[in-house]
Amino acid sequence: MRVVIGAIGLSTPTGVLSQAQALDLMVREAKLDGESLRLARAVFARSGIAQRGSVICDVAGGQTMFTGQADAPGTAARMEAYARLAPPLAESAAREALRRDATEAGRVTHLVTASCTGFAAPGVDLALIARLGLRATTARVHVGFMGCHAAINALATAAAIVQADPSRVVLVVCVELSTLHLQPTSRDDHIVSGALFGDGAAACVVRAGRDGGEVGETGEICATASTIIPDSSEVMGWNVGDFGFAMTLGPRVPELIGEHVGAFLAPVLAGCGIDDARAARWCVHPGGPRVLEAVRGAMSLPTEALQASRDVLHDHGNMSSATVLFILQRLRENARGDALARRAPIVLLAFGPGLCAEAAVVGG
C-alpha cells in the first residue's frame, strides 16, 4: 500500500514587507544604532530575501501592529492577533489542497496541524473543522512549538495514520505568523530572526495511493527520520517572553549541520535506494543562506540542487514549518513537462530547536 502526499495548497498574507521595509521596521522598533545598526544592514542585505508576506502590515506595507507610536505589543496582544489571523490563512491553504486533490471535505478522517508561532484553545484545528465543513468526528493531532521542521513531523504522523488504516484521509495544515514576534532588542540573534522570518500557510492531503491515475499526487512517502545533533542544545531555542516568542540562535548552527547531516542522511537515502545524493531532488528548509550552503557542502551537491530553496527564501522568507511544503510545490512545478525530473526522488530536510533534524524521502 502506497502512502502518498496528494496535492499541496499554499497561502500567504495580502500584506507584503519588502526587505527594505523590514529593515526599517527592525531599526525603529529595536532602536538600533552604532554597531547594531551596521550589523542589521549587513544581515538584511545578505539574507537572500526580497520580500515576505506579513500579517503585521496592510497591502501597501503600512504596519498595523508595530506602529512606532507606543511600546512594542506584549505577548497577549500578539496571541490575540494570532488567534484572529491564523485560521483564515490556514483555511485558504487547506481549501486549495482539497480542491487540487479532488478530495471532498467530508472524506477527511484526520486533521494534523503544525504551528510554533501562536497558542490558542480552541485553536486553529477546531477553526478549520468549522470553516472547511469537516466532520465533527474528525480526529485531531497538533504538532506544536516544534519549529521549522514541524511539517516533516506532521507528514510522518499523517503517514503512520494512513499506514494503520488505508481508508483514512489526513489533511495536514501548517500555519505560521512569524512576523508577530519581532523583538524590540538589539541582540544579534533577534536581528537575524527579524531579517529572515515571514508568514504563510501550507497544506496537503496524505492518503493511500489511488488506482487508475493520480489526481494531484506529489509522491509516495518512502521514509521519514529524526535525529538530535549532539552537544547542540544551546545553539537554537524558541522561548515565550514578555514580547512574544524570542529566538536563540547561535553562530555554530551551520557548522554543526555541516558536521552531522551526512551521517544522519546516509542510511535514510540508502534505505530508499538512493546511491548518489546528486540523483535526488532536494527540498531543504532555508534557515538562512549559510544553512543551505552547509547542507550543499556536506552532501557534495551542485549549487543548482538547492535553487528551489533559495527561490522560496527570496520570495517569501523563512515561514518556519510551512516553508518545506512551499519548496516541495516549487520542485513539482519546476519538473512539469520533464519526465526524468518527475521520477527523481525528493529529499525533504529541515532543522529546529534542539538542535534537531528531520528528514523525509518522497518518491517521484
Residues acting as catalytic residues? 148
DSSP letter, residue 5: E
Where is 156: in which H helix or E strand?
helix 150-164
CA distance 108 to 298: 40
Q: What are phi and psi of 88, to 5 degrees?
A: -65, -35
Identify the three-state secondary structure at position 218: coil
> Which residue is listed with cell 544551546?
234
Task: Identify any residues that bridge with 347 across adjacent strands, giving them in sequence order.
Answer: 282, 361
CA distance 106 to 133: 7
* 33-44 per-residue burial string, b: 16 or more CB within 10 A, e: under 16: eeebbebbeebb
| DSSP string over 57-74 | B-TTS-BSS--SSSSPP-
Are residues 159 and 348 in contact, defined by beta-carbon separation less than 8 angstroms? no
Nearest to 152 by CA among 358, 363, 361: 358
* 318-342 per-residue burial string, b: 16 or more CB within 10 A, e: under 16: bbbbbbbbbbbbbbbeebeeeeeee
CA distance 220 to 207: 10
Whole-number Cα distances in Å, 52 to 200, 316, 341:
9, 4, 29
Three cell numbers at 115?
504551528
Three cell numbers at 221?
512517502
Nearest to 63 by CA among 43, 81, 45, 41: 81
Three cell numbers at 18?
519588502
